[in-house]
């Protein structure tokens, strides 16, 4: 009974993923939002898994992960941020014009998420603290690494052991999105973890994948 329930749940998750890809593809063809008629068809195909509400949320998630364009406020950044998950960040909505690119972002996010889990990056296990005195600490699994931080326009600059890493930051209320290219992400993670060998092998695949698509960045999501 439990086995059957697990199999059915797996099928549902796969169908949800297909629905997400289909919605993104519709947007890439020039639609700002799928019409109710189209959503109804998709909903039927998904066996009731997709509704207009959840469809809107999916579209919002894809379009919402954009590079930050607003100048950062140091006061709003100060505080303790808890890691909530990985994300793929786009330079602009125009990147969605590439249907292949939009589909591949899901694969990139999965690979990034799996890599991060291997080195201890799990929700509730990673904490980023930005102090008022411009010092910061990032604790991965309870082991903190310290440095200093500053703001340059839309970028958060973290300096660890003399190395400065400029990271695009998108701040919205109690949510913080940090986006960077693969090289910067690797530099940051190498500074906060000792599992260099795991990172090197996994990031080689990610780097090669990202080279095929312009305007796609790796991201980390945090929440207060």
Counting residues of the chain whose pLDDT is more than 70, the rounded percentage is 64
The model's pLDDT over 19-68, given as tens digits with 9 standing for 90+, comes to: 555 444 444 444 444 433 444 444 444 444 444 434 444 444 444 578 99
pLDDT number for residue 34: 42
CB neighbourhood size of 72 (10 A)? 20
Judge contact between 13 and 87, C-beta under 8 A: no
DSSP state of 213: S
Judge contact between 126 and 139, C-beta under 8 A: yes
pLDDT number for residue 205: 79
Judge contact between 157 and 151, C-beta under 8 A: yes
Backbone torsion region of residue 52, taken as left when φ is above 0, otherwise alpha when ψ lies between -120 and 50, otherwise beta: alpha
The model's pLDDT over 54-109, given as tens digits with 9 standing for 90+, comes to: 444 444 444 457 899 999 999 999 999 999 999 998 886 665 555 355 566 778 88
CA distance 38 to 52: 10
CA distance 97 to 26: 10
Report how far Cα 28 is from the mean position of its chain's Cα atoms: 20
At 17, list the tokens. Answer: 């993923």
Residue with tokens 């949800």: 16
pLDDT number for residue 122: 93
Q: Does residue 127 or residue 31 have the better pLDDT?
A: 127
Distances (CA, A) of 162 to 38, 40, 181: 54, 55, 20
In this model, does residue 153 exceed pLDDT 80? yes
Mean pLDDT within 149-166 = 96
């Amino acid at each position: 009974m439990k086995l059957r329930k697990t199999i059915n749940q797996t099928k549902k998750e796969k169908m949800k993923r297909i629905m997400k890809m289909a919605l993104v593809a519709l947007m890439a063809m020039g639609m700002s939002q799928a019409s109710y008629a189209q959503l109804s068809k998709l909903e039927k195909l998904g066996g009731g898994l997709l509704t207009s509400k959840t469809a809107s949320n999916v579209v919002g998630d894809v379009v919402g992960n954009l590079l930050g364009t607003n100048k950062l406020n140091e006061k709003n950044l100060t505080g303790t941020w808890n890691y909530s998950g990985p994300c793929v960040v786009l330079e602009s909505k125009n990147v969605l014009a590439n249907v292949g690119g939009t589909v591949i972002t899901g694969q990139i996010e999965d690979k990034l998420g799996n890599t991060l889990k291997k080195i201890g990056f799990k929700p509730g296990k990673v904490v980023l603290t930005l102090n008022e005195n411009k010092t910061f600490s990032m604790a991965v699994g309870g082991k903190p690494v310290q440095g200093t931080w500053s703001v340059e326009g839309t970028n958060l600059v973290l300096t660890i052991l003399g190395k400065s890493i400029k990271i695009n930051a998108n701040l919205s209320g109690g949510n913080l999105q940090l986006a960077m290219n693969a090289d910067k992400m690797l530099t940051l993670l190498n500074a906060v973890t000792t599992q260099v060998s795991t990172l090197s092998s996994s990031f080689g695949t990610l780097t090669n994948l990202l080279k095929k698509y312009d305007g796609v960045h790796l991201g980390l999501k945090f929440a207060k």
